Amino acid sequence: MMKTQSPLLSRRTMLRLGAVSVSMLMIPRIAAATEDEMNEAINAMFGDRVITEGRVNVDLPPIAENGFSVPIDIFIDSPMTEDDYVKQIVVFSPRNPLPVLAQYHLTPMSGRADVSARIRLGGTQSIRVIAEMNDGTLWSGAKQTLVTLAACVID
Amino acid sequence: MTTIRLSVPETADRGEIIELRAMIQHEMESGFRFGSRGEMIPQDIITKFECFYNGTLVFSSDFHPGVAANPILKFYARANESGSFEFVWTDQNGQSWSDSAQIEVS
């Protein structure tokens, strides 16, 4: 008896493809923010002030299996003294329904500009973090992460 | 009942930078999800987190719907004197929850 099995499209693969397409049809779509909307949000918050790349280190897992809870660690190179400290950290997303995810306000009493949290990601994207120093200068860093299960039911 | 979990060291040397962790049980309903009948589930989130060290605000955060459920934060503070750390969460309707932890600084 000859076994008939296509190496490319097995029964199992076909079933999987079917399940994926059905689940995609079932997910209602919400307009996700775009790169432009993120830049607008950055503009609304900081105006046309110069944002320099650097000093901001963003750590995200390279692959986020669950977009509903993704660990993020932000570290900013700052002495955190009375004269030189990080005042504010803002996390921006180009793909979530809302471009601003979280804001952290630090003081010289923080001692160390290092914050860890858990955020939601509505898809594979490059998260941008902007830090505002006490002297008003702005620094930014970004990190790309691949999201396998997206939060916020967006595609 | 809302569960709050804090991690604050019991003792520290004067000037030491200590790690603080605070977690609160909350759905953080984003307002972007749909229920079983296709209706949009209204937003219900915590919007503000504050950490006071002997009454002085040392760290705060604004939460948006992009913050995961049961929000957890890890941050740092400089231990200058013995006393208490108070952690306060406030939701979009003004309801708030708080808890505190003592620290001995030598």
pLDDT beyond 60 at A98:
yes
Question: Within an 8 Å CB–CB cutoff, is residue A87 touching chain B?
Answer: no
Nearest CA of chain A to the CA of B11: how many Å?
17
CATH number (domain holding residue B37): 2.60.40.10
Domain boundaries, chain A: 29-147
DSSP structure class, residue A3: -
Q: Report the pLDDT value the prediction gives residue A27, as an integer from 0 to 100.
A: 45
Domain A29-147: homologous superfamily in CATH = SoxY domain (2.60.40.2470)
Cβ contacts of B67 on chain A, cutoff 8 Å: 101-102, 117-120
CB A31 within 8 A of CB A102: no
Question: Within an 8 Å CB–CB cutoff, is residue A102 touching chain B?
Answer: yes
**Could you tell me how many CB contacts below 8 A there are between chain A and chain B?**
104
Decide if A116 and B34 are in contact by the 8 Å CB cutoff. Answer: no
Between the alpha carbon of residue B61 and those of residues A31, B45, B74, B87, the distances in Å are 26, 13, 11, 11
Per the model's pLDDT, the better-predicted residue between B78 and B35 turns out to be: B78
Q: What percent of chain B has pLDDT over 90?
A: 87
Per the model's pLDDT, the better-predicted residue between A91 and A31 turns out to be: A91
CB B87 within 8 A of CB B50: yes
How many structural domains does chain B have? Answer: 1
Q: ipTM value, please give it.
A: 0.94
pLDDT beyond 70 at A37:
yes
Cβ contacts of A93 on chain B, cutoff 8 Å: 66
pLDDT beyond 90 at A6:
no
Q: Report the pLDDT value the prediction gives residue B43, as an integer from 0 to 100.
A: 92
Q: Report the pLDDT value the prediction gives residue A28, as an integer from 0 to 100.
A: 45
pLDDT beyond 80 at A143:
yes
Question: Within an 8 Å CB–CB cutoff, is residue A128 touching chain B?
Answer: no
Tens of pLDDT, residues A44-90: 999 999 999 999 999 999 999 899 999 999 999 999 999 999 999 99
Closest residue in A to B33 (Cα–Cα)? A152
Question: Within an 8 Å CB–CB cutoff, is residue A28 touching chain B?
Answer: yes
Confidence of residue B71 (pLDDT cuts 50, 70, 90): very high
Q: How far apart are CA A82 and CA A86, in angstroms?
A: 10
Q: What average pLDDT does chain B have?
A: 94
Q: Report the pLDDT value the prediction gives residue A154, as an integer from 0 to 100.
A: 44
Which of A30, A59, A93, A101 is the best substitution to test chain B (most B C-beta atoms within 10 A)? A101
Q: What domain range is B85 assigned to?
A: 4-105
E strand spans, chain B? 4-7, 11-12, 17-24, 46-53, 56-63, 72-78, 83-91, 96-105
Q: How far apart are CA A56 and CA A113, in angstroms?
A: 10
Question: Within an 8 Å CB–CB cutoff, is residue B58 touching chain A?
Answer: yes
Q: How far apart are CA A112 and CA A153, in angstroms?
A: 36
Q: Write down how long chain B is.
A: 106
Between the alpha carbon of residue B20 and those of residues A101, B2, B24, B79, B81, the distances in Å are 21, 20, 14, 11, 16
Tens of pLDDT, residues B25-66: 999 999 888 888 888 899 999 999 999 999 999 999 999 999
DSSP structure class, residue A48: T
Average confidence (pLDDT) over A14-35: 57
Three-state SS for A98-117 is CCEEEEEEECHHHCCCEEEE
Q: Report the pLDDT value the prediction gives residue A35, as an integer from 0 to 100.
A: 86
Decide if A119 and B67 are in contact by the 8 Å CB cutoff. Answer: yes
Confidence of residue A34 (pLDDT cuts 50, 70, 90): confident
Which residues, in sequence order, are CB contacts of B106 under 8 Å at separation 6+? B11, B12, B13, B14
Q: How far apart are CA B46 and CA B3, in angstroms?
A: 14
Per the model's pLDDT, the better-predicted residue between A89 and A28 turns out to be: A89
Phi/psi of residue A7, each to 5°? -65, -25
Tens of pLDDT, residues A107-128: 999 999 999 999 999 999 999 9
Q: What average pLDDT does chain A have?
A: 84
